[in-house]
C-alpha cells in the first residue's frame, strides 16, 4: 500500500506548475502523427494519443521533487502562473500485493486520495475497460477535486488505473475547474487512449 500511496503522491505532485524541469525535450519514446492535431506517444510499455501542441516531458527533465515512478508527463501548451493542465503516467511495482486487480487497485488509490487531499470531493467513479495486450480489462475512471495544501488552488483530477502482472499504472489528468472546456475534453481523450502494449 505504501507504493500505491507513493504513486498517488507522484501523480498529485506533478500537478503543481513548476515541478517540471527547464526547457522541455521530447522524451525517449516515439511519437507519430495518426490523426490531425494528434500524435501517438509510444514506449515499450504503453501508448497514448496526445494533442500535437502539448509538450512531452521526459523523466530525465523532471525536477528532484518528482518521484522516480513517474514515467512521462504531458503539459498543455497554454501556461498558467498558478497551474498548467497536464497528464502524467506513474508506474509502480505492486508485487507485494499479489492478486490485486485493476478495480481493487483503483479503489485503494482513490481511498488514499480522499485522505491526502484538502477539500477532497469525489465527482464520479465509473466503470471502464482498458486495453491490456489487446484484452479489455475492467477498471474505473475516477473524477474528483481537491488541493494538495490549503493554500493551493482547487484542481480537477481524472484518473485511470490498471494492473498488468505485478505492475500498477496510474494515468492522471489534472486541470483547473476554470480552464477552457477544450482542456477537459483533451485530457479525457488522452486518458481514454491509453493502452498497454
Check if the beta carbon of residue 46 is closer than 8 Å to that of residue 194. Answer: yes
Check if the beta carbon of residue 86 is closer than 8 Å to that of residue 174. Answer: yes
Note the pLDDT of residue 131.
Answer: 86
- Pick the residue with more confidence: 13 or 99? 99
Note the pLDDT of residue 33.
Answer: 59
Of 23-27, 42-46, 152-156, 176-180, the one with minimum mean pLDDT is 23-27
H and E: helices and strands count for the chain: 3, 11
Class of domain 2-196: alpha beta
Question: Residues 72-80: contacts with CB within 8 Å, 24+ apart?
Answer: 72/27, 72/29, 72/41, 72/43, 73/14, 73/20, 74/41, 74/48, 74/50, 74/190, 75/20, 75/24, 76/175, 76/183, 76/186, 77/53, 78/183, 79/17, 80/17, 80/176
pLDDT per residue as tens digits for the range 115-130: 999 999 999 999 999 9
Check if the beta carbon of residue 71 is closer than 8 Å to that of residue 89. Answer: yes
Check if the beta carbon of residue 161 is closer than 8 Å to that of residue 138. Answer: no
Note the pLDDT of residue 113.
Answer: 92
> Looking at residues 132-155, what average pLDDT do you find?
93
pTM beyond 0.85, yes or no: no
> Looking at residues 49-62, what average pLDDT do you find?
88
Check if the beta carbon of residue 48 is closer than 8 Å to that of residue 40. Answer: yes
pLDDT per residue as tens digits for the range 57-116: 888 877 777 778 889 999 999 888 889 999 999 999 998 887 889 999 999 999 999 999
Widest CA span of the chain, in angstroms?
A: 43
Note the pLDDT of residue 195.
Answer: 93
Grid coordinates given for 65: 521533487
CA gap 84, 77 in Å, rounded: 8
pLDDT band at 18; cut points 50, 70, 90: very low
pLDDT band at 158; cut points 50, 70, 90: very high
Amino acid at each position: 500500500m505504501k507504493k500505491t500511496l507513493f504513486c498517488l503522491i507522484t501523480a498529485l505532485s506533478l500537478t503543481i506548475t513548476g515541478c517540471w524541469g527547464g526547457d522541455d525535450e521530447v522524451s525517449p519514446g516515439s511519437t507519430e502523427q495518426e490523426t490531425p492535431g494528434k500524435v501517438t506517444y509510444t514506449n515499450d510499455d504503453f501508448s497514448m494519443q496526445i494533442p500535437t501542441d502539448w509538450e512531452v516531458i521526459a523523466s530525465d527533465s523532471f525536477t528532484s521533487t518528482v518521484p522516480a515512478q513517474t514515467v512521462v508527463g504531458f503539459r498543455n501548451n497554454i501556461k498558467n502562473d498558478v497551474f498548467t493542465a497536464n497528464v502524467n503516467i506513474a508506474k509502480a511495482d505492486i508485487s507485494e500485493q499479489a492478486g490485486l486487480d485493476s478495480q481493487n487497485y483503483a479503489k485503494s488509490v482513490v481511498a488514499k486520495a480522499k485522505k491526502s487531499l484538502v477539500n477532497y470531493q469525489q465527482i464520479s467513479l465509473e466503470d471502464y475497460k482498458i486495453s491490456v495486450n489487446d484484452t479489455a480489462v475492467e477498471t474505473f475512471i475516477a473524477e474528483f477535486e481537491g488541493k494538495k495544501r490549503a493554500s493551493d488552488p482547487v484542481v480537477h483530477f481524472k484518473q485511470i488505473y490498471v494492473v498488468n502482472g505485478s505492475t500498477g499504472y496510474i494515468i492522471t489528468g489534472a486541470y483547473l475547474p476554470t480552464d477552457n472546456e477544450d482542456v477537459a475534453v483533451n485530457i479525457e481523450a488522452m486518458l481514454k487512449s491509453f493502452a498497454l502494449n
